[in-house]
A and B are shown apart, each in its own frame.
Chain A
Amino acid sequence: MRNEVTLNSRGQVPNGLASSFKALQQWLRASGISGQLLCLLLVTLVFTASTQGKFLSWANIQVILNLAAIPAIIAIGLHQVVALGGIDLSVEGVVALCVVMVGLLAHNQFNSNNVGIWIVPITLALGGIVGLVNGVLNTKLKIPSFISTLGMSWVLWGLAVFVSKGQTIPLVDNPLSGLINGSVLGIPNLALVALALLIAVQLVQDRTRFGRYLYAIGGDEVLSGQAGVKVDRTKIIVFTIAGMFYGLSALFLAVKLNSAQAITGNNLLFPAITAVAVGGVALTGGIGGAKNAALGALIVTALNDGLILVDVNPYAQEAVNGVVLVVAVALTIDRKKLGFIK
């Protein structure tokens, strides 16, 4: 009698014809991106219909992939902090400073520096250091990440303008420009880089101890600490990785524009946070991976591209983005975790 007793919260999976459909449903549910795929499909259908198929032309798809790549890279960095239960608002400042550093250290028309290909590790390191400081401010000085990273963004922005004297620094013969502006079989290289990063981060999240701890902290910091997770260390590493992603984006932006100026960092935070939220990463932490962030960036970019194609007033487009953000957060946030809504 005792041996037959089992506990099960869900019903048994039925066998037969429905089972393959059920399996697909379960995979979609477990993957956590079913809603996002549906959303992307909806955007595609609406705009394809209203542009007589122009939206789905190969040329337009290339445009979308090219435009989505950098927001996707930023979002893949940013969402890790969000999954921890924090937020990183330092994106714009980090990018501004890193772009200016690229301008001053790579071959340029402003000074005689030329570090060549070394610019890659240098920008990664700079972004990483800023992330490290963000992490330390958050964990050791116990400053909420909302404030510490917001402050950091303004500090770095000020520094970037000061160092560049507010000027635009034209780049000369950058060794990366071929790579960044090129494409393979018509797919922009930047999109391929974003895809590679997405796969790498997703793998770390799914298949390593570090990934497990990241989500454990996002789920419940106190309980994770009790279980033995090194909470502070994990958080600092996550902030550092996020900073490195922003540094990399800055490098790509500078090379793409073939010039460096502080304002390149402007208007990057909002699309990134929208992408993270639309992708289904809960702002309360613990839910959503790199695939969510990247898919979110793709949806937001496709939406904006579509709005341009159907000739919507640019100001109205910005309003649409605001609505999208609020709706996405409303759908993904876990209100049980918020004691007070501040």
Chain B
Amino acid sequence: MQETENGSPTNELVLELRQITKSYPGVIALDGVNLAVYHNEIVGLVGENGAGKSTLMKILIGNVQPDQGSYRIRGQAVRLRDPAHAIRLGVGMVFQEGSLIPNLSIMENLFLCHETEFERFGVLSKRTMREAARTALTTVKVAEDLDTPVAETTPAVRQMVEIARLLWLSRLYHQKNPVLILDEPTTVLTQHERETLFAILHEITNQASIILISHRLQEIVENSDRIVVLKDGKNVTDFSSENASIPEIEHLMVGHTFSADRYRENEQIEPGQKVVIRVEKLSKKQKFEPISFTVGEGEILSLVGLVGSGKEALCRCLTGLEKPDNGSVTIGSKRVVAGLPSESVRSGIGHVPVDRRNDGLALGMTVADNLNLLVLDRLKTASLMSPTREKRNALDWIKECRIKTPSPATLCANLSGGNQQKVVIAKWLTSQVRFLVLDHPTRGVDVGAKEEIYRLIRKLASDGVGMVVMCDTLEEDIGLCSRMLIMKDGRLVREIACPPFQKPSPSEIIGSIV
């Protein structure tokens, strides 16, 4: 399957995954994926959100067990128990959020849990630890004081310490040519630090192989020897980066399959003339620059951009979870008080958060309680809550939104992800909200529930609710929205109209995003 003459310095395999399949309830995360890593090379791994990159990484380091397929390290078939096992076999990962302990010093973090080396009669020898730490850190060019707590160092230094730790551990376990996995290493770095990182990575390839995951295709093309593209849990291709072009990779990432009926385009309505929400010169330092737009009645506005483009911060400002530095948000004719979620709700702004389990629902409460939460005033009889009316309201909305629940008294914690999301959306439907922010509304729900959620979104639109959505895939964004705003590095870079049956294709758009 794998092409072996594709520019890797030696043709000796370190890692080989064959036909890896992993499914979660309702989703196939990986479907027959192959991945090979040769000695001394940098492999770039790209794919859209949800393409299966993170599942593949978890399988590589033993965090997740594949359902099917074989995993060989240096020719030996392995079944990894946990990340510690993977490290003993010379496979380690530098996580996006980091795995160093903040209050411990650089040196303490380097050797954590492997200090036996330095023990003399049960007492640790600081001198030998220092020497070993210096040697380990020269490889990654960190000149920091070894006793500095990690919390006081820059993300770049932390990353380097993690790399040094992985290299040191592989030497400790006598593993030649370890494989280092770097998950989006450059998102937190400055331009200068980015250059330093890649300079060091290229140097490290004389003793290790690297799997580089990044959304910045430019980086991948410039720095990797080979590029592997994943889409919808499948390998698309695997080629040498010498003859790779960014548009070609973009094209492979988004593919062609695009179905109009999935997103109920025939139900997409022409947005009304009336403006629901007016955002004027809203800005937040270091997150996004002044931005102005309006959302009309029944309009679905899609915000598109990479992580860090400022779209998350913008949405948090719209819903009052974060306070913008400047600018205003007006609903109807009333200006919304900034930075207070309760004020936003009172003005008619709803929010379907990405983490529905923690932010969107009271999981320990029943379906009925969650549905009625925002309309308690309407369910009173003589200023006391009326159980009959509460139950009737809940049953109406369960039926209306097709929430699959044994009864209104079932706890939300016991519903499936898709049905939980339906409860969250139904809650806003009941409250006659005028503007709704939908943050990844279909994340982690199965295909059937996705359809239902699309139906509810269309229903909200036909009721005249204005919406801002951020979707899991670009395809979903295009399919759902009536207009699209593309953000990049905190600025609005492009606006695209998406009328039904005249939608742009993902490959036309992705160039503005990355």
Q: Are B84 and A216 in contact (CB under 8 A)?
A: no
Q: Are B115 and A212 in contact (CB under 8 A)?
A: yes
The yes or no answer to B102 lying at the interface (CB within 8 A) is yes
Interface membership of chain B positions 143-169, coded 1 if the CB is closer than 8 angstroms to chain A and 0 otherwise: 111011000111011001000000000
Q: Most A CB atoms within 10 A — which of B84, B113, B116, B153?
A: B113
Q: Which residues of B contact A215 (CB under 8 A)?
A: 101, 103-104, 108
The yes or no answer to B493 lying at the interface (CB within 8 A) is no
| Interface size of B in residues (CB-CB distance below 8 Å) | 39
Q: Are A228 and B113 in contact (CB under 8 A)?
A: yes
Contact of A5 (CB < 8 Å), options: B113, B152, B199: B199
Distance of A175 from chain B, by nearest CB (Å):
32
Contact of A228 (CB < 8 Å), options: B84, B157, B193, B203: B84
Q: Are B115 and A209 in contact (CB under 8 A)?
A: yes
- Chain A, range 1-37, C-beta contacts under 8 Å to B: 2, 5-10, 30
Q: Which residues of A contact B199 (CB under 8 A)?
A: 2, 5
Contact of A7 (CB < 8 Å), options: B112, B115, B126, B141: B141
Q: Are B103 and A218 in contact (CB under 8 A)?
A: yes
Distance in angstroms between the alpha carbons of A229 and B108 in the assembled complex = 13
Main SS of chain A's interface residues? helix
Q: Which residues of B contact A52 (CB under 8 A)?
A: none
Q: Are A10 and B102 in contact (CB under 8 A)?
A: no
The yes or no answer to A200 lying at the interface (CB within 8 A) is no
The chain B residue with its CB closest to the CB of A285 is B103
Distance in angstroms between the alpha carbons of A203 and B124 in the assembled complex = 10
Q: Which residues of B contact A286 (CB under 8 A)?
A: 101-103
**Also in contact, A209 and B119, with CB within 8 A (given A224-B101, A286-B103):** yes
- Chain B, range 175-200, C-beta contacts under 8 Å to A: 193, 195-196, 199-200
The chain A residue with its CB closest to the CB of B102 is A219
The yes or no answer to B424 lying at the interface (CB within 8 A) is no
Distance in angstroms between the alpha carbons of A2 and B202 in the assembled complex = 10
Distance in angstroms between the alpha carbons of A213 and B143 in the assembled complex = 25
| Interface size of A in residues (CB-CB distance below 8 Å) | 27
Q: Are A8 and B83 in contact (CB under 8 A)?
A: no
Q: Are B193 and A219 in contact (CB under 8 A)?
A: no
**Also in contact, A7 and B102, with CB within 8 A (given A208-B123, A209-B116, A227-B113):** no
The yes or no answer to B456 lying at the interface (CB within 8 A) is no
The yes or no answer to B246 lying at the interface (CB within 8 A) is no
The yes or no answer to B326 lying at the interface (CB within 8 A) is no
The chain A residue with its CB closest to the CB of B114 is A228
Distance in angstroms between the alpha carbons of A287 and B151 in the assembled complex = 12
Q: Are A9 and B148 in contact (CB under 8 A)?
A: yes
The yes or no answer to A226 lying at the interface (CB within 8 A) is yes
The yes or no answer to B260 lying at the interface (CB within 8 A) is no
Q: Are B160 and A7 in contact (CB under 8 A)?
A: yes
Query: 10 smallest A-B Cβ distances: which pairs?
Result: A286-B103, A228-B113, A219-B101, A219-B103, A6-B143, A2-B199, A9-B153, A5-B196, A9-B154, A209-B115
Query: A227-B113, A286-B102 known; 19 other A-B pairs, CB under 8 Å?
Result: A5-B141, A6-B143, A7-B142, A7-B144, A7-B154, A7-B160, A9-B153, A207-B126, A208-B123, A212-B104, A218-B103, A219-B102, A219-B103, A219-B104, A220-B102, A226-B83, A227-B101, A228-B114, A287-B103
